[in-house]
Amino acid sequence: MSGDRDWLSADEAMDRLGIRPQTLYAYVSRGRIEARPDPDDPRRSRYRLADVGQLAARKGRGRKAAEVAQSAIAWGEPVLASAITTVAGGRLWYRGRDAVVLSANESLEGVARLLRGGHGAALKADNRPAPPALASGRSRLFATLASRAGVDPPGRGRAPLALAVEAAGLLDAVADAAAGETGDGAIHVRLARAWGGAPGSEDLIRRALVLLADHELNASTFAARVTASTGASLAAAALAGLSALSGPLHGGMAPRVLNLVEEARRIGPEAAVAGRLARAGPLPGFGHPLYPEGDPRAEALLTAFTPDPEMQRLRAAVEGGTGEAANVDFALVALAQHLKLVEDAPFLIFAVARTAGWIAHAVEQLQTGQLIRPRARYVGEPVGG
């Protein structure tokens, strides 16, 4: 737990922000400032210094529209209204339901329907074509979505039931591509069977899929929503999301975590962490801007199995040396190693799971009928005479 220096009294918070009590309480209720009971007086609250400082910095910049919009792009205020997912109180919520609680028993298919806001009926397409005969799961994912994007009808103007049927079929097609084969049964069962994981694979893959199904307006989801806003097909929106996910700063984080694991294996975890800190190097797989007290998705996964000893030692070294908790990228790599899954399993699990979220956001964006078209704030050479 952070020390008292990281928390302010109500008077201190209001003084720094120049606001009245009503405004402070409004900030707390909207999740912009985290509050906790004062350990010395439970009748009072204390307010997170980092949240207050961030708001104060924004106020200091003024309310010039261009500056506000630019600051919102990187871990800033939400730029789109959505009823699907939020991060609040250090937890991840799918339409008001705790994702960690859902991961105890729910399937990805059930969560996909929840995210779309649809009814509980399971919609399945018959006679699915076999996935492309390509060597890697990643290439099959891209080929599957690209081929669908080239022929599927635009999403704009489609009836809700037609979109729901298409959404269910698209999620199945993505799962087939990751597995390298078509199959019956729940997606987590099909993936575990195709990848030949160790005993317990099915349930752990299911938990990971549910925990990764959506994460509010991240880079890949924003890409999917921008694409859907043009009226494009659900497959085209999912392809845009997959393209963004593949980057090393998003769903492609696993190789960077594995690099740290290999370094720790060669020279020991304490030396690896000390060396990275000495040269201000990254420690991928740890810390998350939205979860200052720790990523609940990682905690839910890492408590569902016992990671291999070398992963446990690395986690202890990083958390002890930096205070940063393991995030879901570390948990996915630990899971894949523990179950002896295929090499690219962390990315494939991430992509299959997040397809459910991309589709839900695409449907929600289509329902608005609005085109997402930001403006650029030009900072280049002077134009005109």
Query: Are 22 and 108 contained in the same domain?
Result: no
Query: Among residues 31, 29, 27, 39, which one has the least CA distance to residue 1?
Result: 39
Query: Are 189 and 257 contained in the same domain?
Result: yes
Query: Are 8 and 107 contained in the same domain?
Result: no
Query: Are 152 and 22 contained in the same domain?
Result: no
Query: Are 237 and 110 contained in the same domain?
Result: yes
The residues carrying an active-site annotation are 288, 329
pLDDT in tens, the chain (385 residues): 345 678 899 899 999 998 888 788 778 866 788 888 888 887 788 888 888 888 887 766 555 555 655 555 555 655 788 999 999 999 999 999 999 999 999 999 999 999 999 754 566 656 789 999 999 999 999 999 999 999 999 999 999 889 999 999 999 999 999 999 998 899 999 999 999 978 889 999 999 999 999 999 999 999 999 999 999 999 999 999 999 999 998 988 999 999 999 999 999 999 999 998 888 878 999 999 899 899 999 999 999 999 999 999 999 999 999 999 999 999 999 999 999 999 899 999 999 999 999 999 999 999 999 999 888 888 899 987 5
Query: Are 42 and 92 contained in the same domain?
Result: no
CB 232 within 8 A of CB 372: no
CATH classification of the domain holding 35: 1.10.1660.10
**Domain of 31, in residue numbers:** 4-60
Query: Are 203 and 349 contained in the same domain?
Result: yes
Please state the domain count of the chain. 2
Query: Are 130 and 173 contained in the same domain?
Result: yes
Q: In what order do the strands lie in the sheet with 35-38?
A: 7-8, 41-48, 35-38
Distance in Å from the first CA to the final CA of the chain: 59
d(CA 372, CA 240): 14
